[in-house]
Amino acid sequence: MKRIAPIILALGLAVWMTPASLAAQDMRQIQIEARQAREALAQKAAAEKKAAEAAAAESRARILADRQRLENAVKKQKARMRRLEEAIAALSAEAGALERQEAELTEKLSETDAVVRELVGVVRINAKDIDALVSQNLQTAFLDEDTDFLQAIASQSRFPDMDALERMADLLETAIQTSGEVTVRRGAIIDRSGRPAEAEILAIGNFTAAYRLGEEIGYLSYAPAGRQLFALSHLPPGRIQRRIAAYLDGESDTVPMDISRGAALRQLTHALSLWQQIPKGGPIVWPILAVLALGGLIVVERVTHLLRHRTNADALMQRIEGLMRERRDIDRATVFQGLDGKPVARVLRAGLACCRKRREELENALQEAILKEIPPMERFLSTLGLLAAIAPLLGLLGTVTGMIDTFHVITLHGTGDPRMMSGGISEALVTTMLGLAVAIPLMLAHTLLSRTVENRISQMEEKAVALVNLVDRYGGGETSPLTLEENEIRGDSTHTVA
């Protein structure tokens, strides 16, 4: 039908455009052709309609077949969906049960994990403590077992297993056992020159270790880093060395030990002797030493003088009293034989020379003799006291100069480095120490010597009074060379002894 419309339109245009004479003539022909065309078109349209109806029927049949198949597929899918829904419901129920089970297990796991973490923390802390205990134990130097696993556990680089726990327990037991043992063995040490050596080692628990290398006896220091025993650079005093040797030889059951686990022994390497400390005191040290030398010479001279002029005055007085009691002649050469340089003997000899004089004259003669003996006995004592007083003042002067140097260093460099101030502080302390060290013995010696001189003077005065009393009691005895010599001096040749 769509094709017919253009044809008719074309015919209409042709008729309209054809002249009227021609239009009348050809109208019939045109109608015939139009009818034929319409019939042809009708036939063609009927054929097309029939073909379209056949195609539509065929399409309907296909659609019906496809619909049937779709309905069957939908039924199958619905059945499958029902089955899936049933499976989902079952799985949902199972998932709920599993979630509840998971929650329970998670809670139990959290509790267990907390316990495990706490246990691992305790194990790591114990590993750290055991490592510190074992590493600081000098007995570890004699162990062959490796202890590095303790550091790995303590640093959390290794999880502690049962084998590690057993090794930790064994190490702790070994450390406890060896800390109470005293052993003597041959072992390797680093001697004082820094060379390896084989020595006899005395290990006293985990406190002290000593060694004997030939004739050398000293203490050992333990270095945990290399698990080595090092000989201290300074040897102990000879007394301690002898006690260690006696213990090693089984001759003694006691031995000196350091209960501070080496801290006190390490001070031996830093300890300075007196002669090493003296140069640190600066220039003031030398006057103090000069005071010490001069004071020492005075003390030696005074002690020697007092010892050389010491006399048994009681025995001498008993001898003189016996002679007077027996009314015998008193021969000075015999009575004072070997006592010429003794002060008491000289005083008594001067008294016996005046025994025939009046009491006042006898006492004056004895007092004069005593006064004559006092200056030699007190010689240099005042100088010694002066030196004892000067020594601490020199020490104080050194202290002041040292502190001045210290403050000068602080002014220039500040207080950032204490070692820069140590020189002035050392000078201040050393001079004070040395001044007191010199003053105290000099003062003590001055006191003792002064006391000894006072005792000697008191002894002479006592024996002088005793001689006066003996003369009053017994008289001077028979005529003797002593009395005759006195009479000749006085010009009285008729004087006789009662």
Please give the structure tokens belonging to residue 99: 């979630």
pLDDT for residue 285? 83
Cα–Cα distance list, 436 to 161, 286, 292, 293, 398 (Å): 65, 14, 11, 15, 12
In tens, the pLDDT along 245-267 reads 888 888 888 888 777 666 666 66
pLDDT confidence of 418, banded at 50, 70, 90? low
* Lowest pLDDT segment from 73-82, 419-428, 474-483: 474-483
* Lowest pLDDT segment from 67-81, 164-178, 274-288: 274-288
Higher pLDDT, 161 or 443: 443
pLDDT for residue 300? 93
Strands 196-204 and 208-213: what pairing? antiparallel
pLDDT confidence of 293, banded at 50, 70, 90? very high
Backbone angles phi, psi at 325, to 5 degrees: -65, -35
Per-residue pLDDT for 428 more than 50? yes
CB atoms within 10 A of CB 95: 12
pLDDT for residue 263? 66
pLDDT for residue 124? 82
Give me the mean pLDDT over the 78-90 stretch: 90
* Domain ranges within the chain, ordered by starting residue: 181-271, 285-490
* Lowest pLDDT segment from 121-130, 139-148, 209-218, 417-426: 417-426
pLDDT for residue 13? 56
pLDDT for residue 228? 82
Name the residue type at position 45: A
Higher pLDDT, 136 or 268: 136
Distance CA 41, CA 289 (A): 156
Distance CA 495, CA 490 (A): 10
Distance CA 217, CA 139 (A): 19
In tens, the pLDDT along 45-66 reads 888 888 888 888 888 888 888 8
pLDDT confidence of 495, banded at 50, 70, 90? very low
Per the CB < 8 A criterion, the answer to whether 278 and 285 are in contact is yes
Backbone angles phi, psi at 19, to 5 degrees: -60, 155
Share of the chain above pLDDT 70, in %: 77
pLDDT confidence of 483, banded at 50, 70, 90? very low
In tens, the pLDDT along 123-169 reads 888 888 887 777 777 777 777 667 777 777 777 766 777 887 787 88
Per-residue pLDDT for 430 more than 60? yes
User: Around 20, how many Cα atoms within 13 Å sit in the side-chain half-sphere?
Assistant: 0
In tens, the pLDDT along 294-348 reads 999 999 998 988 888 777 777 777 777 777 776 655 655 556 655 666 787 777 7
Give me the mean pLDDT over the 382-401 stretch: 87
pLDDT for residue 130? 80
Per-residue pLDDT for 485 more than 50? no
Average pLDDT, the chain: 77
Backbone angles phi, psi at 423, to 5 degrees: -65, -50
